[in-house]
Amino acid sequence: MAEMTVELVAVERRLWSGVATFVLAKTTEGELGVLPGHEPTLAQLEEAGVIRIDPTDGAPVTVAVHGGFLSITPDGVTILAEFAELAEEIDVRRAQAALDKADTSEPAGISARQRAEVRLRAAESARSE
């Protein structure tokens, strides 16, 4: 089975590093599935999205990501996020409370509502795997 090196780094820390067979990310151009040998690409991540990494060993890694870039090279995939949380680290009650109190009239751009929704999607996705 083909493999690639994947690094997921947020401003404050490295969240995941290892060998994987697949990465799924949401970019400003749409969803992008990456397999080993993918064409070199640089893409901007959506302001609020979920990334899934399928490691060669273990369960898929699900991450809520807020902004950043995805770089695909012949050596692997690097995800540089402005902010990111591993799904298992997300406090679902806190994210739900943030969603409940989010102001729906916020101007364009990333809103508290979008951040809370993506955190809940990531947590739910990780539970269903």
Q: How far apart are CA 63 and CA 26, in angstroms?
A: 11
Structural domain boundaries, residue 125: 1-129
Q: Are 34 and 7 in contact (CB under 8 A)?
A: no
Q: Residue 107: which pLDDT band, with cuts at 50, 70 and 90?
A: low
pLDDT tens digit sequence for 82-106: 999 999 988 888 888 887 877 665 5
Measured torsion, CA atoms of residues 125, 120, 117, 122, in degrees rounded to the nearest 10: -40
pLDDT tens for 75-88 read 899 999 999 999 99
The structure's pTM equals 0.82
Confidence band, pLDDT 50/70/90 cuts, at residue 121: confident
How many domains are contained in the chain?
Answer: 1
Q: Tell me the C-alpha to C-alpha distance, in Å, between residue 95 and each of 74, 86, 118.
A: 37, 13, 9
Q: What is the CATH number of the domain that holds 105?
A: 2.60.15.10
- How much is the pLDDT for 9? 97
